[in-house]
Amino acid sequence: MIISMRFSASEHMEGGITLEEAVRSVAIMEQAADIIQCSVGMIHNEFTEGNTFPMQYMQRGCNVPFAEEIRRHVHIPIETVGGINEPEMAEQIIAEGKADLVAMARSIIADPDWANKARDGRPEDIRPCIRCLRCLNYSRRPQTGTSVCTVNPRRIIHTLLPDTGTGHTRKKVVVVGGGPAGLQAAQEIGKLGHQVVLFEKGDKLGGRLEFSEYLSFKSDIRRYRDYLIAQVEKLSNVTVRLNTDATPQLVSDQRPDAVIVAVGAEKFIPGIPGAEGSNVIHSGELFERREDLGQKVIVVGGGQVGCEQTVWLQASGREVDVVEMEDQLMKENWRDTPEEHFWTEFYMTHEYDEGRTEVEHARTIDRVRIHLSTRCVEITDKAYGRRIRREADSLYRENMLFWPQAFAE
Ligand code: SF4
């Protein structure tokens, strides 16, 4: 029986295991174990858990240097783990002598065929984990006792929705929309052998996932988008028609047996006076209109989108005020992805640098001011003027006009 022992080569916290102590400990461990798996961090600490389960803000493979150091001091195989989900990267770590083995968990949840596809030289077919940690949080809930996966729907419904296989009547299906939902639908239907025509009104596939091109910490989403596109492009029975509006006539000309409408969400403009002014940019258009942004920006809405865009805005040196009606940021889905929300909030007010492998040395910045329990009631045409009413404190009865200097105070 092979005994593999997992431990943290550094807990990254005061009073926790240091790398020097870990080096001394492995001399004892190697007398009993056959393999040592080097993790980093400590899962009961929200800061250092970010290393144990590296998320979008951490570099993939951020724990490898620790395995490499431990490997210098032992004579048994060392395994590294943490955010490694590309075969090429795993191969490189081993080829460079940084570890003898690479372990992964979330990548296998996202795609149970990971190893087979890697072995067959089909890395583009691996459904990439986007490191959101929903799987972990569902499995931690006693009432569910199982885990889900954001990118692998069969993770939870595999017993309810078995592979239908072949042997059914071939149908013609029109998919309207080439965003993630349309691509996933075309892929699933195409793999069952049906004939699919996908209409996309834009000049490329991927839809709203385009935003991942602009946010360095969304590289996992970028990979996921590329995976979806690659899967659809591989299927000879799926025809993609770009720059095409799916008019009723065009759809009925196809004589489809079924139509899947996957056109995404409509832009929502709140009924705030001034919300349609030229100085207002909808979050979905932020990157298209980034040239229009000034140095000072107010983000109205502290949900996940507003907060992640705030990380980008502050990292580009801008001053940001975030106005949120609730008493907490990103309240809508804290339950599902608390770690991701914790780090988003952290990087709203700390220096974000793309190559980070540890979080503890991130410096605090003061470019972002957060206004909770605050409602935006009017947007004026002044460069930075917003009239907002604070609802949760003594200012409730007054409408306050907040100017830059008022915020600064
Ligand atoms: S739920 Fe998220 S973190 Fe977990 S395996 Fe799926 S994509 Fe990865």
Question: How far apart are the C-alpha atoms of 250 and 355, rounded to whole Å?
Answer: 48
pTM recorded for the entire structure: 0.86
Show the domains of the chain with their CATH numbers: 4-104 (3.40.50), 172-261 (3.40.50.720), 280-402 (3.50.50.60)
User: Which atom, in ligand 1's list, is nearest to the CA of 220?
Assistant: 7
- Residue 390, token pair as written in the block: 């604070």
Mean pLDDT highest for which of 82-86, 227-231, 276-280, 354-358? 227-231
Question: pLDDT confidence of 269, banded at 50, 70, 90?
Answer: confident
Q: How many CA atoms lie within 13 A of 14 on its CB side?
A: 0
User: Which has the closest alpha carbon to 352: 213, 214, 215, 222?
Assistant: 215
How many A from CA of 117 to the centre of ligand 1?
18
Residue 144's pLDDT is 58
Candidate from 52, 58, 81, 132 with most ligand 1 atoms within 8 A of CB, to mutate? 132
Lowest mean pLDDT among 7-21, 174-188, 269-283, 305-319: 269-283
User: Which atom, in ligand 1's list, is nearest to the CA of 152?
Assistant: 6
User: Which has the closest alpha carbon to 22: 42, 4, 40, 45?
Assistant: 40
Alpha helix (H) residue ranges in 195-234: 219-234
Q: What DSSP letter does each residue of 52-81 carry, written as one string?
A: HS--TTSPTTTTHHHHHHHHTT-SS-EEEE
Ligand 1 pocket member 106 (CB < 6 A) = yes
Lowest mean pLDDT among 41-55, 100-114, 220-234: 41-55
pLDDT above 60: residue 401: no
How many CB atoms lie under 10 A from the CB of residue 76? 16
Ligand 1 pocket member 130 (CB < 6 A) = yes
